[in-house]
A = this chain, B = another copy of it.
Amino acid sequence: MSVGETEKKTPPPADRGRLDKRRAILEAALRVFSRVGYTQASLDMIATEAGVAKPTIYNHLGSKENLFRHVMTDTAARSNAKSLAALESFPGDDEALRTGLEEVAHKLVACYVDESSQAVRRLLYAEAVRFPDLLDAVRASGPDQFIEALAGRLARLANAGHLRIEDPVRAANQFIALVYEELPTYGGSRPLDSGELSDVVVAGVDTFLRAFGTGRTDRTGK
């Protein structure tokens, strides 16, 4: 449900059931795709999970491929919105710069390891061969936008003299790389431990500040 699509305020009552079915289908599809992957997911499973008949899926979404595209773009858009929202709390000055960055990083990591976010990433990556355009599209409207926004925030801090950054986009990418660290390679059978996550984030921000800080924000405590 791509962000703006839910804003039909009062749908004609006759369409309520219809929209409900559509929503049920999309949600069921995300669950099934996440569970067993694209190819292994049969429309029978999805129809059963959604509580509708198989042809109803065709009536609404047209084909399995199209259903997949909808589910991916919708879910990715929601994930992206959450990540962008996490930037709202980005620190604007060097007061508590370290803790501010850590807080933002924590939120970002939380978005990153969110179940549906992971599912979309895994599925997109998994089906990159079959849907290369889909991967590109989601990237352009998601991570790329997000990096731009983050770069903007960092640039503001650099302009204000709180950080020493030459290339904000690069710095943004490195910030993300450091706080996500080896997260991208996770997702196998082991669930993520929240303590480990926190350590990675703190260490990532620390390294980032050692590289780009002005020296005034030493690591507290230690």
Q: Which residues of A contact B (CB under 8 A)?
A: 34-37, 39-40, 122, 125-130, 132-133, 135-136, 139, 143, 167, 170, 173-174, 176-178, 180-182, 184-185, 187-190, 200, 203-204, 207-208, 210-212
Contacts and interface: CB of A to CB of B under 8 A. Distances in A.
A39 B37 CA distance: 10
A174 B203 contact: yes
Given A174-B204, A177-B180, A204-B174, A130 B37 contact: yes
Given A136-B189, A136-B190, A174 B207 contact: yes
A187 B128 contact: yes
A168 to B, nearest CB: 12
B207 A132 contact: no
* CB-CB nearest 10 A-B residue pairs: A126-B126, A39-B39, A132-B189, A210-B211, A184-B184, A211-B211, A135-B188, A177-B177, A207-B211, A37-B129
Contacts of A204: 174
A123 to B, nearest CB: 9
A37 B211 contact: no
A181 B173 contact: yes
- Greatest chain B CB density within 10 A among A132, A133, A170, A174 is at A174
A184 B181 CA distance: 11
Contact of A35 (B129, B136, B174, B211): B129
A173 B132 CA distance: 29
Contact of A125 (B126, B176, B207): B126
Contacts of A187: 125, 128, 135
B128 A122 contact: yes
Nearest to A177: B177
A82 to B, nearest CB: 18
Given A182-B177, A207-B211, A129 B170 contact: no
